[in-house]
Structure 1
Amino acid sequence: MNGVARIKRLIPHRYPILLVDRVSAVEVGRTLVAHKAVTVAEPCYRHLGDDAAEEDYAYPISLLLESWAQAAVLLICWEQPNPDVLAGKVELAAGIKGVELGGPVFPGDVLEHRAEIHRLVDDAAVVGGASYVGGRKVLEVAQFTAALRDSSVLVRDKPLTGAPR
């Protein structure tokens, strides 16, 4: 079982920001291949009118990167499920570098995300990989660093200095 039900047991993302539909291959602690079908029903397209040009339907780069990062996090925590960000360990993105784009993605395209762990250090991982549409590379990520931290880091005991009240 590597569909949405399994994915939702591993990461806390839900609609509209769950951006991985299926995992087709996983070698625990090493590599993962995941897929995301881009459709015209995505929330990012709802503002487009009937007169929108084809290029207006290019999938936002931020969502493309987020979708790949979700695949990377799935690889990192494949054996450590935690769909509840209020308990246990949470995955926090710590950094990303070496991002290269290879061309636009449009509704009807199916993204194939490939992620590979480069290093595991304590409760952190460095992952790299790429995304493809029909064999065409649309994204490459040289290094994505994620850290697993206790969920208590998300809870603030007192307001930050200067924070709005």
Structure 2
Amino acid sequence: MMDIQQVMQYLPQRYPFLLVDRVTEIESGKRIVGYKNLTANEEFFLGHFPGKPIMPGVLMIEAMAQIAGVLGFYTHGKSPESGHLYVFAGADNIRFKRQVIPGDRLVLEAVPTGSRRHIYKFSCRALVDGELAASADLLIAEQKV
């Protein structure tokens, strides 16, 4: 399990773009589960949409990419502090199934499905109350900075 301080050791993103609050399960090279608690105070809810706040789909994809990045860093013993970044490189099979609104806990899951020359593929899901909100196959590329 990782609290927000530990998550921030693996992710370079910061407020308002840090979209992982906690990791609840992690198995090196196999699986990660974490979550983002969404409140009415999230900046993106101000404009998406006034009077009917909905989390933008692209931010759900970004949240899934961030949880996959934590697993990648953890698995390979790297971090932004060690001069490495994992950057979003692509997405396939994106599906949105449920709107995500203030008060929801977005549970994020990622499982590695392949790798090739510092590019890693993950099967990811985002759920609210056990119901699928979004899913995607994501590519994350490792970069040395």
Q: TM-score, normalised by structure 2?
A: 0.91
CA distance in 2, matches of 1:17, 1:26: 22
Q: What do the CA deviations read for 1:104-159 (whole angstroms, capped 9, x no partner)?
A: 00000001111000013342211012110001100011x211111221xxxxxxxx
2:105 alignment partner AA: V
Rg larger in structure: 1
Say whether residues 1:109 and 2:101 are aligned partners: no
After TM superposition, give the deviation of residue 82 of structure 1 in Å: 2.1
3-state SS of the aligned residue for 1:104? Answer: coil
After TM superposition, give the deviation of residue 47 of structure 1 in Å: 4.6
CA distance in 1, matches of 2:48, 2:73: 36
Question: Could you say which residue in structure 2 is the equivalent of 1:59?
Answer: 55
| Unaligned 5+ runs, structure 1 | 152-165
Say whether residues 1:100 and 2:95 are aligned partners: yes
| Unaligned 5+ runs, structure 2 | none
Q: 1:24 to 1:46 in 2, by over 3 A?
A: same
Work out the number of aligned pairs and report it: 144
Q: TM-score, normalised by structure 1?
A: 0.80
Q: What do the CA deviations read for 1:61-100 (whole angstroms, capped 9, x no partner)?
A: 111111111011111111434234xx62211222111000
Question: Could you say which residue in structure 1 is the equivalent of 2:80?
Answer: 83
Provide the identity percentage: 26
CA distance in 2, matches of 1:11, 1:91: 9
What is the root-mean-square deviation in Å for CA atoms of aligned residues?
1.8
* Higher strand residue share: 2
CA distance in 2, matches of 1:133, 1:46: 21
